[in-house]
Amino acid sequence: MTTSIDADGRPDPRVAFGPIVWCDDARMSDVDPGELERLGSALRLAESALEEALEAAENLGNFDHRFDVPRAIAGAQRLVQNANEAVDGARKPTG
């Protein structure tokens, strides 16, 4: 696997982890609505926890020079948002 370094000297995840593959193969009938609701609920909790964590990290300032903690938390928030979009998409009836 090849890696690329971004402008901040960190590995570029688009290269380090390969291309993102989108899959729309699962039909709504294949998705357990109870598990989908469970996932949605867990993601809402994660969003809330990440908001609190980001606020605390920003209040602390740059306490660890090895990592940009607020930036890492913001990245996790984007991942949770992506997962929420997938859950919302799975809830919509397919035509």
**Number of domain units in the chain:** 1
In a domain, 21, yes or no: no
Per-residue model confidence (pLDDT) at position 62: 77
In a domain, 6, yes or no: no
In a domain, 75, yes or no: yes
In a domain, 12, yes or no: no
Judge contact between 8 and 74, C-beta under 8 A: no
In a domain, 15, yes or no: no
What residue spans of 6-32 are helical by DSSP H? 13-16
Confidence of residue 1 (pLDDT cuts 50, 70, 90): very low
Q: How many CB atoms lie within 10 A of CB 73?
A: 19
Mean pLDDT estimate for the chain: 81
In a domain, 10, yes or no: no
In a domain, 87, yes or no: yes
18 dihedral zone (left: phi>0; alpha: psi -120 to 50; beta): left
| Structural domain for 77, as ranges | 32-91
